[in-house]
Structures are given as structure tokens and as C-alpha cells.
Amino acid sequence: MNPLFTETFSALKNILKAHEKELIVKTDNDESYYLNHAKNPAKPSEEGFFGAAQMKKNYVSFHLMPVYVYPELLESVSPALKKKMQGKSCFNFKKPEPELFDELRELTTTCFEKYREKNLL
């Protein structure tokens, strides 16, 4: 396994772990870390997906569903972080990028607060 991927995964996982006390840990292993939120407006009897860090073959992905649900949360994202986006709610990295990870940490906290405001936690 690529040691840069391991380091990248660990850093991205820690961004999400900061919020795990108020979310639901669905998966936590050496290659995947998934968090759900308690209330899913589309299916009230189910949890909703909040975010994940996943080790892939060629990169490490960071999924953040709130930016899909509330795209306005991406308005203040830097061009450098937007370049890392794949699709509407996924960011891919091949190595640790501390400045972008700091920005992603702030975005994740903003997303968490948005879900709290919308009573989805």
C-alpha cells in the first residue's frame, strides 16, 4: 500500500472524526471511514449519509454529502480545492496537502453546522 495514501487517509479521516460524537459511525477500518446523520428527510425511517474517507487504488477520496444537498456551501471554496473535486460532493487526493486539508476541515465544520441548523443530526 502506498504510504502517502495511508497518511492522506489518516488526515482526511481525522477531519470527519472531529464530528463523530454527534454523528453515526457506519464503517471504521484501515481503508474506509463512513459517518451518517440521524435524520434523512427523503426517507424518515433511515439515516442519511454525511461523509466518508476512502482509500482507493489510485487516490484517497473524501465525500461530503452536505455540499451536494446545499451547493451554496461551495461558494467560498478556493479554486485549488475545487480542482480536487470529482462530481458534486467528492474530493480526491494522492498525497497529504495540509493547506487544502485545513480548508476542507473548515468546510466540513460548516457542513456540520448547516445540518445542525436544519435539525438533521
Does position 40 have pLDDT exceeding 80, yes or no? no
pLDDT at 60: 98
Spatial strand order in the sheet of 24-28: 24-28, 32-37, 48-55, 60-64, 90-93, 85-86
pLDDT at 33: 98
- What is the average pLDDT value for the chain, to the nearest integer? 95
Domain ranges for the chain, please list them: 3-117
Averaged pLDDT, 48-56:
96
Write down the residue that cell numbers 495540509 correspond to: 98
Protein fold of 3-117: Aspartate Aminotransferase, domain 1 (3.90.1150)
Q: Give yes or no for a contact between 103 and 81, defined as CB atoms under 8 angstroms apart.
A: yes
Does position 79 have pLDDT exceeding 80, yes or no? yes
